[in-house]
């Protein structure tokens, strides 16, 4: 279970909220500079079959995480681990920014016409947010492995299973 009382987690969630808000503002800026002429739709850019696969992978990951009993872990914050985690944390911040950009910039037909899930706003949003959700799940799982280690009271089998997870 995630403890939202941890100050570092609360600060990071605040950073994600600020990145999302900045993305919404930047998306609004892009929307105001839109081209009045709508580009033509190219059918193969919608990528619906690929996103069906991403949706299945995401569902399997979520169901697998919910069904599996994760062994307890303790923080392992060393400079090397933090250096490994920094790019992944940056990726989460960028994903939040990009999600914010989609909100208003996606109202421009040229922004979504050849996007994944396009040409509609809802289709493009569905595909982009699906990518963000599954990618975010993978990044958070990698961060869990990097920033923690198995608790000292776990058995060798649990530690091995935890390392593989």
Residues 100-127: tens digit of each pLDDT: 999 999 898 888 887 777 788 898 898 8
The length of the chain, given as a count of residues: 165
Domain membership flag for residue 67 = yes
Domain membership flag for residue 159 = no
Quote the CA–CA distance of 91 and 139 in Å, as a whole number. 8
Domain membership flag for residue 1 = no
Domain membership flag for residue 157 = no
Task: Count up the domains in the chain and report the number.
Answer: 1
Domain membership flag for residue 164 = no
Per-residue pLDDT, 20: 97
Per-residue pLDDT, 90: 94
HSE-up of 2 (CA within 13 Å, CB side)? 9
Domain membership flag for residue 61 = yes
Domain membership flag for residue 80 = yes
Low-confidence residues in the chain, pLDDT < 50? 156-157
Domain membership flag for residue 162 = no
The residues, any chain, with a CB within 8 Å of residue 130's CB and separated by 6 or more, are 51, 54, 55, 58
The parent domain of residue 71 ranges over: 7-35+47-150
Per-residue pLDDT, 103: 94
């Amino acid at each position: 279970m995630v403890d939202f009382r941890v100050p570092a987690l609360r600060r990071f969630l605040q950073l994600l909220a600020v990145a999302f808000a900045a993305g919404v503002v930047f998306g609004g800026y892009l929307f105001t500079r839109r081209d009045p002429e709508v580009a033509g739709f190219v059918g193969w850019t919608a990528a619906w079959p690929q996103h069906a696969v991403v949706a299945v992978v995401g569902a399997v990951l979520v169901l697998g995480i919910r069904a599996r009993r994760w062994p307890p872990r303790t923080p392992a914050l060393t400079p090397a681990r933090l250096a490994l985690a920094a790019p992944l944390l940056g990726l989460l911040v960028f994903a939040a920014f990009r999600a914010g950009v989609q909100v208003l910039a996606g109202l421009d037909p040229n922004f979504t016409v050849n996007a994944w899930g396009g040409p509609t706003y809802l289709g493009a949003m569905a595909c982009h947010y699906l990518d963000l959700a599954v990618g975010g799940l993978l990044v958070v799982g990698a961060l869990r492995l990097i920033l923690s280690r198995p608790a000292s009271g776990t058995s060798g089998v649990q530690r091995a299973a935890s390392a593989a997870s």
